[in-house]
Amino acid sequence: MFDEFRAFVAGKAYKVRSFRRLVLLLLHNYFEIMCWFGVFYTFFYRSGDISTSGVPIEFFTIFRECLLMMISFGPESNEANNSIGVIVLTIHSFVGIFMTVMVLGRFLALLPTPESHDEMDNR
């Protein structure tokens, strides 16, 4: 996020190593955050702060819930039992929306700009 600013302050031209590497690192960061929240969910399930509506707690269930919270801003079967559960689900929703917007924005910025028939647009 601040790499371009650091290059500007240092007086260097800003360049990325590779667009493919950048997209892979973005997806890796997204997956890493999902794994961290999966660990949090496991802990909070066991402590009783979060419960599921009859769904057994397994790896793929937690992974699916984390993915749903990251991209759809709401859990499918998670329910908060107290204020700690509400805080965890809310933080996960905000982090998910923030990361989704950041990854999509960065990826869309990498796409080439199409040419236009209007000469004013091509300047």
Which pTM was predicted?
0.70
* CB-based contacts of 90-99 (< 8 A; 24+ apart in sequence): 92/37, 92/40, 92/66, 93/69, 95/33, 95/37, 95/70, 96/33, 96/69, 96/70, 96/71, 97/73, 99/29, 99/30, 99/33, 99/70
Q: Each residue of 90-112: pLDDT tens digit?
A: 888 888 888 888 888 877 877 77
- 42-69 in b/e form (b: 16+ CB < 10 A) is eebbeeebbbbeeeeeeeebbbebbbbb
Average pLDDT over residues 70-95: 81
Q: What is the pLDDT of residue 48?
A: 85
Tokens encoding 1: 């996020």
pLDDT bucket at 75, cuts 50 / 70 / 90: low
Q: Each residue of 5-54: pLDDT tens digit?
A: 788 888 888 777 887 888 888 888 888 988 898 898 888 888 888 887 77
pLDDT bucket at 1, cuts 50 / 70 / 90: low
For the ranges 40-44, 56-60, 71-75, 118-122, the lowest mean pLDDT is seen at: 71-75
